[in-house]
Structures are given as structure tokens and as C-alpha cells.
Amino acid sequence: MNSTRHEEFREYMADRGPALLRAATRLTRDRGEAEDLLQAALAKTYLAWDRITDRAAIDGYVRRAMVNTQISWWRRRKLEIYPTDELPDRPVDDHTRRSELHDALGRALRRLPERQRLTVMLRYYEDMSEAEIARVLGVSIGTVKSTVSRAMSKLRDDFSWGDEPPPPPAAR
């Protein structure tokens, strides 16, 4: 029983680890902290593995564990941070520019047809393979490849205009 649990968990980590690490990175905005956060959440998940009866809900369990752990770490760190007259050696990150790009990408994704948006989200946000996406959507791998290709082409068109707004869709 214990070795089966261990193998199931190892397979889950190998399969979903990269996507979960991206989610952790979005929470922490730091790769090192994201790795620590994911490791802590996976440790909690491993301890609860036998209690999770719905295997489709494991990602949600891990993400909730990451959010709860991040909140705990944030509260603890908040007590440890004191104002100082010294400036950090690292340059300050431009959160405004990153936020603008994130918003622009969100708008561009929403403009895609539903199937294209879904394939891009599954491929790049959930880190699913083309075969997995084909199985989930009930289409061929070739359909997945061409759909992702068309979606990425549209997204590139949306972002190729630099500082100028893109022309209306009819003018393209």
C-alpha cells in the first residue's frame, strides 16, 4: 500500500510538477521561493494523499496548499521586515510594465476563439502535451497542433504593433 502511494505521488509530481511550479512562481514572483513553496505544498499533499479520494481534485488541493502556505509565510515575514535607510543592491522591478503586459495578454487570449484559447491555456499554462490535449478535447494530435499554431499566430499579430494600438480586426 505504501509503495503504491509513493509511486502514485511520484508519477503525479513528474506529470504536474512544471505546471505547479509556474503557479508557485506566479504566487511568489521568485523562482527560489516558488520551489520552496511547491515543495512545502507537495509535502502537505503527500501526507494527505490517502484522504484525497477524487484524484482529479489533486491540483486544486496542491494549489490551495500553496496559497495557504504563501499567506502564512507572508504573515511571518511581515513581522520580520523592518524599515531601513539602506537601499537594496538589486534594481527595482517594474511591476507596472509587467502588469500591463499581463493585462494585454489576457485581453488577447479572450479575443481568441474558444477552442484556440483552450488549447493555448492547456498547452502553455497547464503544461499538457499535445497528446494529452487531444485526449481531453477528443480531437486528433494534428488538430491540436494546427489549433495552437493558429492561436499563437493571432497572439503574435496582437503583440507585433509595439506602442501603437493594433488596427481594427477588419483592417488586418
Percent of the chain with pLDDT over 70: 80
Higher pLDDT, 90 or 64: 64
pLDDT digits (tens, 9 = 90+) for 124-167: 888 888 998 998 889 999 999 999 999 999 988 877 655 555 55
Pair (70, 99) in one structural domain: no
Pair (13, 69) in one structural domain: yes
* Residue 87 is assigned to a structural domain of this protein: no
Domain count, the chain: 2
Q: Which residue range is the domain that position 66 belongs to?
A: 2-80
Residue-level pLDDT at 107: 86
Domain boundary pick from 35, 52, 80: 80
Here the CATH number for the domain that contains residue 140 is 1.10.10.10
Here the CATH number for the domain that contains residue 19 is 1.10.1740.10
Pair (21, 45) in one structural domain: yes
* Residue 88 is assigned to a structural domain of this protein: no
Domain boundary pick from 25, 57, 80: 80
Mean pLDDT for the stretch of residues 18-29: 90
* Residue 51 is assigned to a structural domain of this protein: yes
Pair (74, 109) in one structural domain: no
* Residue 85 is assigned to a structural domain of this protein: no
Q: Which grid coordinates are listed for 3?
A: 509503495
* Residue 89 is assigned to a structural domain of this protein: no
Residue-level pLDDT at 171: 43
Cα–Cα distance between 39 and 45 in angstroms, integer? 10
DSSP state of 164: S
Cα–Cα distance between 166 and 6 in angstroms, integer? 51
Task: Provide CB contacts within 8 A for 117, sequence distance 6+.
Answer: 109, 110, 151
Question: Is residue 44 a contact partner of residue 65, using CB atoms and an 8 Å limit?
Answer: yes
Domain boundary pick from 80, 108, 124: 80
Cα–Cα distance between 139 and 153 in angstroms, integer? 21
Residue-level pLDDT at 37: 92
